Amino acid sequence: MKNVLISGASIGGPALAHWLRHHGFSVTVVERARGMRPGGQAIDVRGPALEVIERMGLGDQLRSFSTNMRGMNVVDADGNELFRSTTHTFSGGDLSSPDVELLRDDLAGMLFDAAEGVEYLFDDTITSIDGTRVTFEKAAPRDFDVVVGADGLHSNVRKLVFGPESEFISHLGMNLAVFTAPNFLGLDHWQTFQQGEVVGGGIMSARANAECRVYMGFNGVTDFDYRDIDAQRALIAEKFADAGWAWPTALKHMWEAPDFHFDSMSQIRMDSWSRGNVVLLGDAGYCGSPLSGQGTSMALVGAYVLAGELAKDPSAAFQRYEEILRPYVVANQDMALKNQANGGAPTEEFAAVVNSLTLPSY
């Protein structure tokens, strides 16, 4: 099992590619986008995931990309301040912790650069998997010993091998859009949130205050085409039409944002993450939703463990991968539900769950 195909080039895919190359595997990554995807949320690397980054030799680089938030405040629809903190933020949690908050695309780029000797097939996707034979939309068919679905919440690999998304997804009743805009509020390493009964979100400065990331969300289950970006923008515009505060300006920038992303807050729960020579990694197999605050860390830890077990004993790798990782994953998914019940704020159990896995050595 020395020839591995990974579907997805966000976080888990490049991280797995790095570790597989470290263990001597031949690695190909296929990605539907034409290149590394820009944008995305501010994400957090915590607990054992920090150790994974250190073992990659990327700890200092990771910290250099930190958002370096100084704090946050909450305002009402008229912009009146209701709450302020310089010890915690909604996006990153406890500012005194060793956790590192950075932008998703900064981490993805860092991991892409770290995965040397990897073949990338951009602007392509898998159309069928039959044993070792894989067919693509554009590239010629090829054979791979292992196929890994690291292709997110709406995983194509999961659909092809395990069945329709509806069998595994659980919608948490919230929807979120994220995009980049000019720092039109003049925030200085700061984030401001405004929460209404149905709609709300926040704006945080990014990249040394040169820009900001805008979060706009609403409650309720809504049918939408996750590939129709124009329809998603129109949906956000409709929901926030009378929301007040800075949302009219945010909406103007939304229509121009090249990295607009919208999706439901959902979880993926499966009885098994593997079938035959196919295995799932990160959100494709065990999405915790942004409410967990742990999606990135679970993908990084999962990549490290999966690669290590494949190198150690390919015949038992998938079983060991689940045995090691599943308690950690389930605890984090359950914590997301508790966070939701707590109004989105992490519960007191959060730190214990984050650090509930002791990282193996390979």
Lowest mean pLDDT across 3-12, 46-55, 92-101, 311-320: 92-101
pLDDT tops 90 at residue 344? no
Longest alpha-carbon distance in the chain: 61
Label residue 354 by pLDDT band (50, 70, 90): confident
pLDDT tops 80 at residue 319? yes
pLDDT digits (tens, 9 = 90+) for 230-273: 999 999 999 999 999 999 999 999 999 999 999 999 999 999 99
pLDDT tops 90 at residue 341? no
Residue percentage of the chain with pLDDT more than 70: 97
Label residue 4 by pLDDT band (50, 70, 90): very high
* 321/260 Cα distance (integer angstroms): 34
pLDDT at residue number 73 = 97
- Nearest partner of 264 among 222, 214, 202, judged by Cα: 222
Structural tokens at position 171 = 């919608």
pLDDT at residue number 340 = 77
Of residues 221 and 240, more confidence is placed in 240
Residue 20, classed as helix, strand or coil, is: helix
Label residue 345 by pLDDT band (50, 70, 90): low
Single pTM value for the model: 0.95
- Nearest partner of 29 among 9, 58, 52, judged by Cα: 9
pLDDT digits (tens, 9 = 90+) for 160-219: 999 999 999 999 989 999 999 999 999 999 999 998 888 999 999 999 999 999 999 999
pLDDT at residue number 220 = 84
pLDDT tops 70 at residue 288? yes
| DSSP-assigned letter for residue 290 | G
Helices (H), the chain: 12-22, 48-55, 59-64, 104-114, 156-161, 229-239, 247-254, 283-286, 295-312, 317-341, 350-354
Residue 306, classed as helix, strand or coil, is: helix
pLDDT tops 90 at residue 70? yes
pLDDT digits (tens, 9 = 90+) for 27-60: 999 999 999 999 999 999 999 999 999 999 999 9
pLDDT tops 70 at residue 221? no
